Amino acid sequence: MITADPLGRDRVPVGPSLSMFDPMFAGIDEFGEPVYLDIVYHNLLAGGESGGGKSGLLNNVACTATLATNTRMALFDGKLVELGAYRDLADAFVGPDIDHGLSVLRRLLTVANNRYTWLLGQRRRKVLPTDDLSVILTIIDELAVYCTLLGTKAQQEEFATLLRGLVFLGRACAMPVVAATQRPSWDIIPASLRDQFGYRAAYRCTSRNSSDIVLGQDWADRGYNAVDIPPTNPGAALLLAEGGLPRLIKTAYLTDEQIYNIVDYAEWIRRPTALTEPIGIRGDWDKAA
Ligand SMILES: Nc1ncnc2c1ncn2[C@@H]1O[C@H](COP(=O)(O)OP(=O)(O)OP(=O)(O)O)[C@@H](O)[C@H]1O
């Protein structure tokens, strides 16, 4: 018999949810084989012209994160509508406000530094799935908004510096960064930032230089040029994973309706239940911070 219980123990637990530490399905390659990404230890950069399909990849990551109840999100979306579906599930949702963006990045860096101090005490170099620490995922849709459009030059530079720090520190302490830009240029993605991304996805680009800025120097000369992706094939990208060759992939695509259905379901599985620690016991954000 189900009885009412103030801690919600009368509720039937939902089946196991996803973990961000598990491989994430991102699409298929040109041979029809599934493509999986290990976001937590890699970071992900997506670049390419408008309409190329970058949002599809970001939505795959965000939807996986919402269903992974061990994951918290900090979302940056200058347009509001690209990642807006997830705003109620995110710890921070930054719109076109650079001051807010800077304060969230500073806070994330503090958490990252605290995690390294904790790792030092554990005599380890990276956070493991068994550590009972949540993954804190940062997604930035349109880097250019924060690095070149909003605020003063000094604020833009501070944003770029903090972001470089987070991308550098985040991968071993379960705080990955996923970022996209439709303007792959050196002022937005300097090589020092690009090289910290273990995964780079070049969607259709307007020049071989842009393609190289996303993938890395000289890939176009070696035959991997995102200019060659036809405009009639949105969602196609050259995906480079650390140490490998770029692979032509077709990103899995979720419609707006599917995204909102997933978000509704995620809100339901993330609702407070008996699995939540009672008030007064430290949550993992406190432990991490
Ligand atoms: N994997 C895909 N399969 C089929 N169609 C896709 C795919 N990805 C994108 N599209 C189509 O291309 C359109 C544009 O895609 P999307 O908004 O993801 O591009 P984008 O690169 O993010 O553009 P922007 O930089 O302007 O936001 C989508 O509305 C959809 O119709």
Beta-bridge partner residues of 240? 200
Atom 29 of ligand 1, nearest CA residue: 51
What's the pLDDT score for residue 38?
94
Ligand 1 atom with minimal separation from the 56 CA: 18
What ranges in the chain are assigned the alpha helix state H? Answer: 54-67, 98-122, 143-144, 153-170, 191-194, 208-215, 256-269, 284-288
CA 232, CA 191: separation in Å to the nearest integer? 30
Closest ligand 1 atom number to CA of residue 79: 27
Split at pLDDT 50, 70, 90, the class of 185 is confident
What digits encode the pLDDT tens for the residues 109-167? 999 999 999 999 989 999 999 898 999 999 999 999 999 999 999 999 999 999 999 99
Q: Please name the residue whose Cα sits nearest to atom 24 of ligand 1.
A: 50
Q: Which residues contact 22 (CB under 8 A, 6 or more apart)?
A: 68
Number of H helices, E strands in the chain: 8, 10
Which phi-psi region, left, alpha or beta, contains residue 151 (left: φ > 0; alpha: ψ -120 to 50)?
left
Structural domains in the chain, CATH included, are 24-270 (3.40.50.300)
Give the tens place of pLDDT for each residue, 33-57.
999 999 999 999 999 999 999 999 9
User: What interface predicted TM-score (ipTM) does this complex get?
Assistant: 0.94
pTM exceeding the 0.80 threshold for the entire prediction: yes
